Amino acid sequence: MFKTALHATVAATALFATGTAYADVTVYTAGPEKLIADLAAGFTAETGIKVEFFQATTGKVMARIEAEAANPVVDVLISASWDTATDFAERGWLVPYTSPNAAMVPDFLKTDTAVAQGVAALAIAWNPNSGTPRPAEWADLAKPEYKDLVNLPDPAQSGSAFELVAALSADGDMSMFESLAANGAIVAGANADALNPVLQGAKAAVFGAVDYISLNGKAKGESIEVIFPSSGTVIAPRPVMIMEWSDNQDEAKAFVDYMLSDAGQAIVAKQNLMPARTDVAADRPLIGDLKILPIDAATVYGKRAETLESFAKTFGK
């Protein structure tokens, strides 16, 4: 672990030894603002390289990249969906890079052109003050006790919610979602739109909440409990990519090294995400503690339009 903690410093020292001037590195991220702010501050303190960052929803980040197509600005992209890494790699937009600090990242969380910053999982977010019984399984939220009291994130707006819908509707079986719709469950926009009414007490639970957002709320004293059904859930790795058009690839690689260093992964864990590295502790359930539902990404995303259409019809959208 001592060696991995030094890799970012060693990389930066090697850069400085060339005597070249350093450009800022620009990072676009769909993650929490506190996370990128702390990573940027830690990286700058360790290397002297400044970080300019843009933090927003996945949709807004992708829209900005598209708008800047003629004059790209972003050096490093952190997405909330692994599908972005797959898509961008197929387009030839990514630089192959394997950080020396990625040795303890499991193979399924890294490729030649992307590596997970951290991992979220989807869960039931339940308000214990809602007057409803504590749910244990996804199907519990379709019971009469939860009539008109459940929100779902829209899978058309949330990649992780889409993957949960796909995993729970294998072979096109929408029966669970039909039961939820019949029980008055509402599709409430993006992840925060689904969670906020539960935090405020207007709803009892979110079906498919992004865990770290709810865990952060609980840490701040919100009335919320995060429940991982034993029947299984899906995870949402957050891929980090270096863009092929970047003029600051050395600085970008140094940033990735820092993000995967002991210090960088501790910052990830502090935001209640699972660290990508298996040797970094976190005060939350980790991948090995959860039953992960299998997802064949090529098949699932190949049927994305069909799945979203069936889901929308189920909820009368």
Domains with residue ranges and CATH for the chain: 2-119+237-283 (3.40.190.10), 120-234+290-314 (3.40.190.10)
The distance of Cα 264 from the centroid of its chain, to the nearest Å, equals: 16
- Sorted by sequence, the CB contacts under 8 Å of residue 280 that are 6+ apart come out as 104, 262, 265, 266, 268, 269
| 25-29/186-187 β-pairing | unpaired
pLDDT values of the chain reduced to their tens digit, one per residue, 317 residues = 333 444 444 444 444 444 455 669 999 999 889 999 999 999 999 999 999 999 988 888 999 999 999 999 999 999 988 989 999 999 999 999 999 999 999 999 999 999 999 999 999 999 999 999 999 999 999 999 999 999 999 999 888 899 999 999 988 899 999 999 999 999 998 888 999 999 999 999 999 999 999 999 999 999 999 999 999 999 999 999 999 999 999 999 999 999 999 999 999 999 999 999 999 999 999 998 999 998 888 888 889 999 999 999 999 86
How buried is 103 (Cβ within 10 angstroms: 0-12 exposed, 13-18 middle, 19+ buried)? Answer: middle
Closest of 113, 125, 124, 126 to residue 77, by C-alpha:
113
pLDDT of residue 3: 37
pLDDT of residue 159: 83
* 212 annotated to bind ligand: yes
Give, in order, the Cα–Cα distances in Å from 168 to each of 66, 214, 246, 271, 300.
Answer: 32, 21, 39, 28, 12
Residue whose token pair is 């952190």: 78
Stated pTM of the model: 0.85
pLDDT of residue 72: 94
